[in-house]
Amino acid sequence: MKKRHIQAVKILLLLFISISIISCTKYEKEKIAISKGIGSEGYLQYGKWMKELNPEVELINLYGFGVDSALKLLNTCDGLILSGGPDVHPLNYGQPDYYSLCEIDSVRDTLEFKLIENALSKKMPILAVCRGFQIFNVYMGGTLFADLPTQRPGEVSHRCENKDACFHDVKLYKSQNFDFWGDIKNTRVNTNHHQGIDYLSEDLYPTSYAKDGLIESFEWIVPENQSYLIAVQWHPERLSDENPELSDSLGNNFLRAVTKFRKSKK
């Protein structure tokens, strides 16, 4: 009887461990790193947007950590959001004379270049927004207009005093890689930037333009064997009221790529 009792206990213990493993696997949260996701309501909005689309997702801010620590945290994640923020240093794309017209965070430039390098090496999904859109192009060898009002004045206001009331039209071109764009169409996006893409990296392909010809989004020319990439100049995390279809489409497609990446690691 004693042997049977011990055997029964062992079976129950193994069953408990198996159920625990299955339960942990079932409820394992997808983790998304944000290059900067704290410091103001605007930065917190990225996490809120992701949570609205998927309440189970876990957001991890990387700003404020040393590069090595940030990369270790990134290695635990399934996707990377390069968030908006201050200007990319003009030295990074050969226009040092415009430094005085820019708001610079050199620490962040250094951090994000390393994050991009690491994410690309792992083929991790990337969502690049506003500043993130710009610094990704610079990392890939592209350049920027350091100050649109002086270098490229035009009919479109890309930055207003009240950023929450600043919008303009863009033309979306059907994407090679993402079906959520649909056919060519005009749509309305928010805007809050004074830098913009001048020369687009040869590895990237523009998928939308503002009326003044400024590039508003891009993707890979050749997406095979690359990180899933969505890069937009506007702020989809703050677009749900004005243009929920576009905001939700961008976010959900990124989240699907994150899920796919997480499953591929197992």
Please say whether the beta carbons of 46 and 62 come within 8 A: no
Residue tagged active-site, from 89, 158, 168, 235: 235
Please say whether the beta carbons of 29 and 78 come within 8 A: no
- Round to whole Å and give the CA distance between 219 and 223: 8
Beta 204-210 vs 167-172: how paired, if at all?
A: antiparallel
* Active-site residue flag, 235: yes
- Round to whole Å and give the CA distance between 218 and 210: 13
Please say whether the beta carbons of 183 and 227 come within 8 A: no
Please tell me the total number of residues recorded for the chain in this structure: 266
Q: What residues pair up with 22 in beta bridges, in sequence order?
A: none
Number of H helices, E strands in the chain: 7, 11
Residue tagged active-site, from 77, 89, 112, 130: 130
* Active-site residue flag, 89: no
Rg for the chain, CA atoms, rounded: 21
Beta 126-129 vs 229-232: how paired, if at all?
A: parallel
Q: Report DSSP state, residue 203.
A: T
* Active-site residue flag, 216: no
Residue tagged active-site, from 30, 112, 219, 237: 237
Residues serving a catalytic function are 130, 235, 237
